[in-house]
Structure formats: C-alpha cells, structure tokens
Amino acid sequence: MVGGGVRDLLAGLEPKDFDIATSAHPEQIRKLFRSCRLVGRRFLIAHVRFGDEIAEVTTFRGPITDSHERDETGRILSDNVYGTLEADAFRRDFTINALYYDIRDFSIVDFAGGVEDMRLRRLRLIGDPELRYREDPVRMLRAVRIANKLKFDIDHASAEPITRLASLLREIPPARLFDELLKIFLSRDASANLDGLRRYGLFSHLLPLTDEALESDPGAAALVHRALLNTAERITRGAPVTPAFLFAALLWPAYAKRVEQISREQGHAPAIAQVQAAEEVIAHQQLRIAIPKRFSMPMREIWGLQPRFVNRSGGRAKRLLTHPRFRAAYDFLLLRAQSGEPGTVELADWWTQAQVGGDPGSLPLPPEAVANETAEPGNTGPRKKRRRRGGRNRRKSGAEAADIAPGAGDADGDFDDGADS
C-alpha cells in the first residue's frame, strides 16, 4: 500500500481509501481481476472493484527522462514508463505520499524521508519544487489541501514557487480541475482551503468571478465562508452534500451582481435578466472549471427560485412548497439570511413558519409582500384578473385542487444542500 492511506494512518486519521503499487503492468492486473477497469491517459491506472469499494492499483513508475512527452510549460503529457519500487518513490509528489506499507513484514518503506517529515509536521516536495510543479500544476492545489488536512506547514522551498507558477493551472483540463475542487471544498477544511488558495494566488485561476467578488464585497465573503463552514459541519456528522449547492453559493455573488447590471443597463424584466445572468456566469466559469450539467442545472434552479420567496400569498406559497427543488432553494435562502444579506432574515423566518405553522395562507404578510401580490413588476396599477377557461365546473388540479401539507424544509434552519431533492 502507498500514498494517502499510509500517510493518514501514521497521522492518526481514518483513511478515505487505500492505493496499491505493484510491479505488475496494467494489462497483467486486468487479467487477474474480472472487475478491473483501466483509466487514465497520461498514466494508466487499474481500478479494481470489490463491492462498493474501488482499489486504485498503479504500476511502479520509472524515472523521468528526456523521452517523456511534455508541453511548452514543462507539463508531462505521457508517462507510461515503468520502473522499480525505489524509482516509483522518487516519482511521487510529496515525501509523506511516498511511504509504502509492505504487507509481507508489516514494515514502512521510506526512500524519500517521509517518516522524518511526518515527525516534523512538514509538507515537502520530492526534487526541485519548480520542476515538479511544472510537471503537474495540480500539485500546487494538493499542497494546500494536504497541509490543511494534516495541520502541517508547507516547506519554504516548496511554497516559494507557487505564487509565481499559479497561472499554470490554466493549462489543466477543466474537467480535472472540477474533480480537484470537489476534494478541496467538500471537506472539513473547506474554509481553510479557500484562504490558502487565495493566499498563494491560486483561487483567481479557478473561480475568477468569485475571487473578484471576495476582494470587493464583504457580504460575498461572508456568504461563501458560511457555505463552506456549513458544508464542513455536514461532512463531520455524515450528512449528504451536493456540488450543486456548493457552486450555487460560490457563484451567487457574481450572479446577483450580473442580474442587477443587466436590469439597470439593458432594462430587461427581472425574469429575463436572471436567465441571461445565469447563462453568462456559468459559461464564463466553464472555461476554468467544467461543472457537469447534473450540477449546473440544479444550481440554476436554486438561483431562479430565490425571487419567488418574496411572493407569499397562499396560492403562490403552496405551489412553491411543492416545487421539487424547494428544499435546496429554501436552504440557500437560509444561507443568505445567516450571511447578513439585506432583506432575507424576515423572508427566511416567514418560510420557516410556513412549513411548521400550518396553511401558508393563514400567515400574516408584511406590507411589501401585499404590494408584490397586487402589482406586476414595473406597473403601478392593480393586477387584472385572469379569465378562467373551461366553465365554472372545470376540474382543478395540482396545487389548486389539494390542500397541500407544508413541511418540505427544515424548521430548525439546518442546511440540507438539497440532498433530499
């Protein structure tokens, strides 16, 4: 066994998984296990499934030579060159990730000084730091994440080049950066990871719009940090989390700002401005981080439902309570309120009561809510009644036909991230 599992055991932590290193080549591994699948382009890795668990099996890598294919920045593009156990150790990124546990005699095999760095609580790259970062810029993200996870300090020589080389992250495929970002932010150390990424100048190359908002808007910083702290708390107690809610929070400041700009500069109706803003913000973000549609679509729904919380007449409230994405949108409203966003605290309290206090139509509406019910946006006169079709005895359906029971959200204000949706 090698890597993070051995490292975490020595640090007194429960490993997330175990990786295996072997002299067997990928094709030989696949012949041994029917449940084996080979993945990876730069370096082939064997995934061997045992029930719900997947063991990642890698062949010992050989030393770096001039024959390795690189791009103009020094990043290695092809690495299917195999070697010995010792050569493999010096190909690992950090010394504490180059520790091997030999099941033959239950010993720790250490070629790079990882045991000593564990004792000193130090994160240190193997080899020349700048060269190693150029080989794979994602190592800069791992340095921040692993140091915060173990409460280690990054060695000065390993930390010094990061700010200078941060722009190399733009050479990494957006899909790979999405996976790395989930490891960084869907963790107990999410808030500390954000601070570390910003300190080393990495965050602006991952979420540039969010970084801009954090620099200029204290309210945006409060909302993002609150979202990360709630995510960490849910992970700690074993509750589910979803990337859709996380990215909705990270990109909300940029989205809200763009909605306001479009409404002011182009004069579009709020609904049109919201759709256009969502498309622009997501398209801009996809250039850096490839957010899959299974997460970006719920994220758009969470954003799009926020204005509907303002209209709280009995009929509209009942219909919103039955929306499939109500739970996630309500949790997001709570997040905005807890972050101090103006005008959201009273809204969050009302919707909490609507779920536990019976019929929403029986709850008192504040004056601004009554105004919203009697006038369309941009008009000053009363709203015209719609002519009903199909006769007086038409059959009612959906929310009009049933007395809808409330209770779709958490009355205690506990964030669910929409996992139940």
pLDDT computed for residue 63 by the predictor:
79
What the block records as the tokens of 168 is 């190399």
Write the CB contacts of 165 (distance below 8 Å, at least 6 apart in sequence). Answer: 130, 133, 134, 137, 140
What the block records as the tokens of 281 is 């913000």
Q: Which CATH superfamily is domain 1-126 in?
A: Beta Polymerase, domain 2 (3.30.460.10)
Given 1.20.840.10, 2.40.30.10, 2.30.40.10, 1.10.3090.10, which CATH number is that of 180-375+403-421?
1.10.3090.10
Active-site residue set:
17, 19, 93
What the block records as the tokens of 319 is 């219909």
| Region label for 69, one of left (φ > 0), alpha (ψ between -120 and 50) or beta (otherwise) | beta
81, 92 contact by CB (below 8 A): no
Q: Where are the domains of the chain?
A: 1-126, 180-375+403-421
pLDDT computed for residue 88 by the predictor:
92
* Successive 10-residue mean pLDDT values, the chain, 421 residues: 94 90 93 91 85 90 67 62 90 95 93 96 96 94 97 97 96 94 95 97 97 94 96 92 95 96 88 95 96 96 95 85 93 95 93 77 56 42 52 44 37 43 37
**Taking the CA of residue 49 as centre, how many other CA atoms within 13 Å lie in the half-sphere pointing to its CB?**
8
* CA atoms of 308 and 354, how far apart (whole Å): 14
* CA atoms of 399 and 326, how far apart (whole Å): 14
Q: Which of 236, 180, 232, 231 is nearest to 207 (CA)?
A: 180
pLDDT computed for residue 80 by the predictor:
66
Distance from chain centroid for Cα 139? 18
pLDDT computed for residue 74 by the predictor:
60
Does this chain's domain 1-126 share its CATH topology with 180-375+403-421? no
pLDDT computed for residue 81 by the predictor:
79
Q: Which of 351, 349, 329 is nearest to 249 (CA)?
A: 329
By CB atoms closer than 10 A (0-12, 13-18, 19+), residue 210 is: buried
* CA atoms of 62 and 84, how far apart (whole Å): 7
Q: Give φ, ψ of 61 to 5 degrees.
A: -90, 150
Query: Residue 82: beta bridge partners?
Result: 61
* CA atoms of 366 and 369, how far apart (whole Å): 5
